[in-house]
Amino acid sequence: MPIAGGIGSYVYYLSNFFAQYGNNVYVVTKGQLTEEKKFYDKIRVFRLKTFKTPLLEAVLFYRLSSKKLTEIGQKFSIDVAHVNLPLVPSFAVPKGLGKALVATVHSTWKGENEALKYESFLRLNANEKVVRSCNNILRFFEYKLLNRADKIIAVSNFTKREILENYNLNTNKVCVIYNGVDINKFKPPDNKDKIKREFGFGNSKIVLYVGRLYCRKGLLTLLKASPLVLRKFRKVKFVISGKGLGNEESRLRNFARSLGVEENFSFIGYFPDEKLPRLYQAADIFVLPSIYENLPFALLEAMATALPVVTTTVGGIPEVVQDGKNGLLVNPLDFKTLAYKILYLLENPGFAIEIGLLARQTMEKKFNWKDIVKQVFEVYYDVLAKNPLPNSSITKDNFLEDFD
């Protein structure tokens, strides 16, 4: 099952762990064809074909999702229906699907909207314009689904506060379970110089960004910081991995050209997931200059690779990154401080290695996917315990024993 984006990673890893422990998993997602595919013996993925028009695509997908989920519910016995927000509105999930409903919140529509206020409406991409124009409607359906859920998983303490501040929900209904990372897949390189040569990076220092080319990711801040870095270090390559809607990449390229740094930026587009660990290993510094985040997967992947990270003080990021210990933090939009901290890492390679290794340790101790999945399993058990199966002998201990 391919991985696309943060929520895609979340679904991928949860599904695979659940299947490994004998559970049947059904995934409904977008695809180029309407089809069903089996992955392993326990995972079935239903891909629903949609149009490539932002608003129409979403409406059609939600309609098809409701129909497909109804079919799945009629054909199979569903214990837990698990949805990921903010992308799924209440009307996309039929009522009565499964014995319990769990919702994981990766961000909120209010937060997404707030992050767009730094750009004029005309410069936003099509999806961002929908978020701005239809925010009240999006929030209405977001609340309806959260209100229906038996349990809500927030991916950070910041996310939990955001949910409770936005909506009238019972505090006890919301728990915090951080996103995780595959520490065996994303790990430090054995020979960075060799990997750099494979990518054609030569002896340049590589400053890497991985993520979508969206306004809230703060890439304009990184572009503004780059001339300050290049005044002292000419052999620095800023590698931007990700895709955006419309002409977003062209816009960023044009801005780089206006700053005279176009030759130092390499836009490599979407990078296949199976090759992504190698890209992290080729980098020297990872930068995520976001304006709004909850708990980004790219940050966890970079830290698991033992990269020194420079990121912002937004959302749940400070819950993971301790400034000066396992990474460096700057305020969003502060391009001068961003440049200074990138330069500090370039000028102090020993310190860069040290915080990279501490970042790796943080991932091993607190963000290993296996530990995260165990916490999600505990949520599943708790919500199912409210509606126990007839004549069931399941206890919490034997429900989780495979994880010990």
Over residues 143-195, the pLDDT tens digits come to 999 999 999 999 999 999 999 999 999 999 999 999 999 999 999 999 999 99
AA identity, residue 381: Y
Cβ-Cβ contacts under 8 Å for 28 (sequence gap 6 or more): 46, 48, 65, 68, 69, 72
pLDDT, averaged across the chain: 89
Of 62-76, 121-135, 324-338, least confident by mean pLDDT is 121-135
Grade residue 129 by pLDDT with cuts at 50, 70 and 90. confident
Q: How far is CA 255 from the centre of its chain?
A: 26
Grade residue 93 by pLDDT with cuts at 50, 70 and 90. very high
pLDDT of 207: 98
Please give the average per-residue pLDDT across 287-299, as a whole number. 96
Does the pLDDT value for residue 224 go beyond 90? yes
Cβ-Cβ contacts under 8 Å for 76 (sequence gap 6 or more): 24, 26
Cα(8)–Cα(28) distance, rounded to whole angstroms? 11
Q: Could you read off the pLDDT of 236-246 as tens digits, one per residue?
A: 999 999 988 77
The superfamily CATH assigns to domain 5-177+368-403 is Glycogen Phosphorylase B; (3.40.50.2000)
Burial of 312 from C-beta contacts in 10 A (0-12 / 13-18 / 19+): buried
Of 73, 69, 139, 145, give the one whose Cα is nearest residue 102: 145
Placement of tokens 């890492």 in the chain: 345
Does the pLDDT value for residue 74 go beyond 80? yes
CATH of domain 192-366: 3.40.50.2000
Same fold, 5-177+368-403 and 192-366: yes
Where residue 324 falls (left for φ over 0; alpha for ψ -120 to 50; beta otherwise) is left
pLDDT of 167: 94
Please give the average per-residue pLDDT across 32-56, as a whole number. 68
Grade residue 40 by pLDDT with cuts at 50, 70 and 90. low
pLDDT of 391: 41
Copy the structure tokens of residue 136: 């009240």
Copy the structure tokens of residue 27: 């995934």
Cα(174)–Cα(161) distance, rounded to whole angstroms? 10
User: pTM for the complete prediction?
Assistant: 0.91
Grade residue 390 by pLDDT with cuts at 50, 70 and 90. very low
Cis-peptide into 89, omega within 30 deg: no
Copy the structure tokens of residue 137: 């409607």
Name the residue ranges covered by the structural domains of the chain: 5-177+368-403, 192-366
| Partners of 10 in the β-ladder | none
